């Protein structure tokens, strides 16, 4: 990669606190663009426009993500005085529809937890750890990365809250229910002390459990519970947390805080799952709801 793109990535990390996953995605997108058209700080307008052809076979969401990375780079390059122009207008603007979250019903959640609880009844460390993991995914709505990177000191001692570090290094307090507290307590009681690790859910080498391994564990549990593994993942359990809270009457702003969304528009995607309840709410609570059309 060129020195300019490396400087841009360094700025994202230092000034904006971009997460490692975000930096990796930006690095990959910028490197691929430079492989196609050369150093971005020097690329011509026509060269930038040619990326539309390079991305022709990509999904709209992927092309939109790449275009966004380049727009931010070109803005940075202009601020630094490396370019006198901004060729961002040459980039394609694919319309990427935000995908709706996969839905997981209450019966499926019950089956998943019944299996996990049955397996953890004998205090097998692996089974107890898995129960604690899914309790925090569904009971507190954590992201996969937030969960596997939980440090030991984040575990509540005299308060039913976890301190979670989310995207961009932002922290938030997340409530933890009795079930999750019990499962985490059981795990702490039998958690191996070697190798020493500061993480609540550590690998055998003392590093955080990997995202890949977490996905494998959840999908394998789904299969043992008689569910379709393709339909269940750590992120789907987070979606279930959000949709089921909304069904139960949770306020959208509260849900935004619990999920750690910077923009409430991200949280609003969950409103589709309970549209009937929202319509009923308007019909019953709106000031005009009790007036007839003939009044």
pLDDT digits (tens, 9 = 90+) for 27-86: 999 999 999 999 999 999 999 999 988 898 888 878 888 998 999 999 999 989 998 888
Render pLDDT for 100-159 as a digit per residue (tens, 0 to 9): 556 788 899 999 999 999 999 988 999 999 999 999 999 888 888 889 988 888 877 767
Domain extents for the chain? 3-90, 106-235
| Whether residue 291 has pLDDT greater than 70 | no
The residues annotated as belonging to the active site are 143, 167, 235, 238, 261, 270
Please check whether residue 186 is in contact with residue 178, taking contact to mean a CB–CB distance below 8 angstroms: no
Each residue's pLDDT tens digit, 265-280: 666 666 655 555 556 6
pTM: 0.62
Which positions ≥6 away from 8 have C-beta within 8 Å? 26, 30, 72, 73, 76, 77
Amino acid 30: pLDDT: 94
Q: Tell me: the pLDDT tens digits for 198-210?
A: 889 988 888 888 9
Q: Express the helix, strand and coil content of the chain in percent, nearest 5 each.
A: 60, 5, 35
Taking the C-alpha atoms of residue 213 and residue 216, their distance in angstroms, rounded to an integer, is 5
**Confidence class for position 187, pLDDT limits 50, 70, 90:** very high
CA distance 283 to 231: 34
Q: How far apart are CA 281 and CA 289, in angstroms?
A: 10
Cα 270 to Cα 86: distance, rounded to the nearest angstrom: 37
Gyration radius of the chain over CA positions: 23
CA distances, 138 to each of 45, 211, 216, 240 (Å): 47, 16, 17, 7
How do residues 213-267 score in pLDDT, each as one tens digit? Answer: 999 999 999 999 999 998 899 988 988 888 888 777 777 777 777 777 766 666 6
Report the pLDDT value the prediction gives residue 274, as an integer from 0 to 100: 55
Residue-level pLDDT at 93: 80
Q: What number of residues does the chain have?
A: 295
Superfamily of segment(s) 106-235? Intergrase catalytic core (1.10.443.10)
CA distance 237 to 257: 17
Residue-wise burial string across 211-242, b where 16 or more C-beta atoms lie within 10 A, e elsewhere: beebbebbbebbeebebebeebbbebbbbbbb
Q: Measured between alpha carbons, how far is residue 176 from residues 28, 162, 199, 220, 267 in Å?
A: 36, 7, 18, 25, 20
From CA 178, how far away is CA 63, in angstroms rounded?
Answer: 43
- The whole-number pLDDT of residue 154 equals 82
Buried b (16+ CB within 10 A) or exposed e, 81-93: ebbeeebbebbbe
Which comes out higher in pLDDT, residue 44 or 1?
44
Outline where DSSP puts E strands in 101-186: 161-165, 171-175
**CATH 1.10.150.130 is right for the domain spanning 3-90:** yes
Cα–Cα nearest to 136, from 121, 154, 118? 154
> Contact 174/162 with Cβ under 8 angstroms?
yes
Handedness of CA 207, 210, 213, 214 (dihedral sign): positive
Is there a contact between 201 and 208 (Cβ–Cβ < 8 Å)? yes
Give the integer Cα–Cα distance in Å for 162 and 159. 8
**pLDDT higher for 291 or 74?**
74
């Amino acid at each position: 990669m060129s020195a300019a793109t490396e400087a841009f990535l360094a700025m994202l990390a230092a000034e904006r606190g971009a997460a490692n996953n975000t930096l990796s995605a930006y690095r990959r997108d910028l490197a691929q663009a430079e492989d196609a058209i050369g150093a971005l700080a020097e690329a011509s307008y026509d060269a930038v426009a040619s990326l539309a052809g390079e991305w022709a076979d990509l999904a709209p969401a992927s092309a939109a993500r790449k275009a966004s990375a380049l727009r931010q780079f070109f803005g940075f390059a202009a601020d630094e005085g490396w370019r006198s122009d901004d060729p961002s207008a040459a980039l394609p603007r694919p319309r990427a529809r935000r995908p709706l979250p996969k839905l997981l019903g209450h019966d499926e959640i019950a089956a998943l937890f019944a299996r996990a609880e049955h397996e953890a009844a004998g205090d097998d460390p692996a089974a107890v750890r898995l129960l604690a993991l899914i309790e925090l995914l569904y009971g507190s709505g954590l992201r996969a990365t937030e969960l596997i990177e939980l440090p030991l000191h984040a575990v509540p001692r005299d308060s039913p809250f976890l301190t979670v570090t989310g995207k961009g290094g932002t922290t938030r307090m997340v409530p933890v229910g009795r079930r999750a507290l019990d499962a985490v307590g059981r795990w702490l009681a039998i958690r191996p002390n070697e190798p020493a690790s500061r993480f609540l859910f550590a690998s055998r080498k003392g590093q955080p459990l990997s995202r890949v391994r977490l996905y494998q564990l959840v999908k394998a549990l789904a299969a043992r519970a008689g569910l379709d593994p393709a339909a269940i993942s750590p992120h789907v359990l987070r979606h279930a947390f959000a949709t089921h809270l909304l069904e139960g009457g949770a306020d959208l702003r509260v849900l935004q805080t619990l999920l750690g969304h910077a923009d409430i528009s991200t949280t609003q995607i969950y409103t589709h799952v309970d549209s009937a309840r929202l319509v009923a709410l308007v019909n019953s609570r709106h000031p005009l709801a009790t007036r007839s059309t003939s009044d």
